Chains A and B, each alone.
Chain A
Amino acid sequence: MKKTIGVIFGGQSAEHEVSIITAHVPIIQSLLALDKYEVIPIYIAKDGSWYSDQQLNKLSFFQSPGWEENLKKFKKLQVSLNNGFEIIWPGLRSIAKKIDIVFPAMHGTNGEDGSLMGLLRMANVPFVGCDVAASAVAMDKALTKQVLESQGILVTPYVWFTASEWEKSKDELLTDIKKLSWPLFIKPVHLGSSIGISKVKNETELINGIEVALHYDDKVLVEDGVQNLIEVTLPLMGNEDIRVAEVERPLNKTEFFDFSDKYLSGGTKSEGANSLYSEIPANIDDNLINQVKELGKRTFKILGCTGIVRVDFLINKSSGKIYVNEVNTLPGSLYHHNWRKAGVSNIELVENLVILAEQHFTARQRLTFSFQSDILKKVSGSKMVK
């Protein structure tokens, strides 16, 4: 009997639609072509309802007019985490399906930030990608910088603050921010796919930019803009042994690489996330390429990543300094366009990630999480106090 693999996507996140694309291209399409697993699509709607139906295995379902209405015809799922991950279609004759492996395809908050991973850990089910800690740290751009900086990795100078801090100490924060080198980048710390990010050149733009970022998140990062910039990104895959894809250079169409550049401009339907916006491999010095790959691997290790990540870098062309900019624990569409250039087909990519998930799970199973204790016997109400 085939193992069941549940692909969880959608979710209550600004990147809901991107998640639908990632889930289908390449994950579900490759799993179906691979024909080794029973593929169970698990879709979390924007209102938080969970659904599963074979029709959701097709991207075309989400492209058809009135699909959100059609979705409501499906039964809402219940989930059991009782030593295994089980989805249940409730009713007079409720049907339960045990999921053997989970493939999270959720971007952004409530999915990529470690919360889903925590749920899956509780269920004791193998899942693809980074575990709780790595996901949570990588999701917070400020925290990522703090962790990497502490391990000697170069990051651009930055200031971070919460919404309440901004309200209370705006002037002090502005004083700190002005010590950075303009132009500056403002980022909501928890969002991916470049949502809510702005590049600012003066104080007016800065304040507007912060307001925009605070609209999306309650924690904001302001950082230096690197001069003579070369922006590159590198997908990596593995657990202990790390495999790198090609160093990719986004070809900036706008002043910086935003959501629409990544997902909406150009590209072909079959490629999922846009594949025409970048140069693969990046046409930069071989020495830089090698350094980027090494830095990528170190970052992967420091954050304790597993499965797949994408590390973004900023390079100062003149000084040759390479800064780690951010880490994405679920690259859009798994950056399969890059892996294909690196000689890894979608099927190989997806299958490898499933194997890595099982290996990571097996390794964790070897750990001891409980031990025999007689502490309970020693407790006898108020006598214990004696």
Chain B
Amino acid sequence: MFNEDKIKDISKGREGWEDKFNKTLAKTSEKEERFSTVSDMEIKSLYTPVDIRDSDFQGEVGFPGEYPFTRGVQPSMYRGRTWTMRMFAGFGSAKDTNERYHYLLSQGQTGLSVAFHMPTLMGYDSDSPVALGEVGKCGVAIDTLRDMEILFDGIPLDKVTTSMTINPPAAILLAMYIAVAEKQGVDKKKIGGTIQNDMLKEFIAQKTFMCPPRPSVRIIVDTIEYCIQEVPRWNTISISGYHIREAGSTAVQELAFTLADGIGYVEAAVERGLDVDSFAPRLSFFFNAHIDFFEEVAKYRAARRIWARVMKERFKAQDPRSWLLRFHTQTAGCSLTAQQPYNNVVRTAFEALAAVLGGTQSLHTNSLDEVLALPSEESVTIALRTQQIIAEETGVVNAIDPLGGSYFVETLTNKMETEAMAYINKIDEMGGIIAAIEKGYPQNEIAKAAYHYQQQIDSQEKTVVGVNKYEMEEDISVDTLKLSPDLEEKQIAATREVKKNRDNDRVKACLDKVRDACKGSDNVMPHILDAVKEYASLQEICDVFREVFGVYRDPGMF
């Protein structure tokens, strides 16, 4: 980026500064022996053009909306349109959650995001014995199309977009969403949204799994293939690093394992015979925004650049939309503390700012009380207002990629790319991400990093305010949301009622067709859609998957 003579001058100048720096330190030594990010990446005292002397501006930094998209996926970024403020919400019954959605939309939220309760996430109905004690606790209970109809009652599905955090049963929830849209008179070609549908990161980190990795990926490719023609505005996978980070990975690991998962899906879809440009523009990503500000900004910038290169060079995608890494961000739940919970508002604001300066397309900001319980309406409002303040008061949206060109941020972006590529190459050598997961490789790398970080906290090498420093005697009381005690009973009764009143012969016939598709090579999606329209339940369809494909057991490594 600079000519050689200039670099020599700057190097000389830097040496002069370093002398002074060392003399100052002779009097007062540095505060830390070693300065490092929250992921323990070492950071130097000062960055200058010398650090990015080998970078080519056009080839590596460039312009927003232009390859390799380091500075953002759109030419205009937030000057054209701010990011989508998408708050994840779901609790109790479909009716409770529907009321929260109406409230959030009335407060200026622009997209919906559904949190499902554990039994739905794992493919069980509320009336299953394994669901006992879990109904409606961490999200909304969806057993049949009936619950889905209530969830979106009065919400026009041609006007809002919806993100559904759902993995093993993702195809089923997408089918239910299509069915609700059709009942509203909305064509499935017009609906927009996202299903998470990212099973690889489930085996690596989040651990809501059902069938083994290979059949899981087959179902995902079925949804990709189906959506190309039938639901063209749907984001078929949200390739997620969020949970990898929450499980204790470093920023580099989050970046590397997420992109390795993405490569795994593209490989599987291409193997099916799909043209890469027919599906790649509908792949989206989901990253964490952790507390180490610059490391996060660099992570998002590196992610865009690596993905653009992988898609163009490795998979030979021709359509520029296939090169784009579009992503949602959520601030880091694991950075929040139960101690002095109001500090969480501040943490979340810094994390959200990193996501914005990193060029996110949508954002969820955590509520201050999420570490204690489901968030109350008041705390959700503060979290939403945090985004609105960033967007409309701080002025950070005025210039595109304002940190681009910072010697430090560009160096860190390069370092992120180099270290993530080293992991990706290693995974390729192991035979790809599925083989690596079967060997337990990413799982073990994350467990090691999580343990190392905990040791750093315990030894006070890393600070968490209110936890290992600046502690206070306090009575932690925040008004949290309480669920009605008869919720479980009511949900079970409602689901049993639906199962009694539907045409059970037709349900059985539909499930038989799903089974045949699973055993053969037919796409399962159209058969699942037929089944949910007859009010076949989530678990009934998942039981077919489990029967045909088997059940994955956690190897329990630590």
Q: Do A and B come from one complex?
A: no
Query: Which B residues are closer than 8 A to A by beta carbons?
Result: none
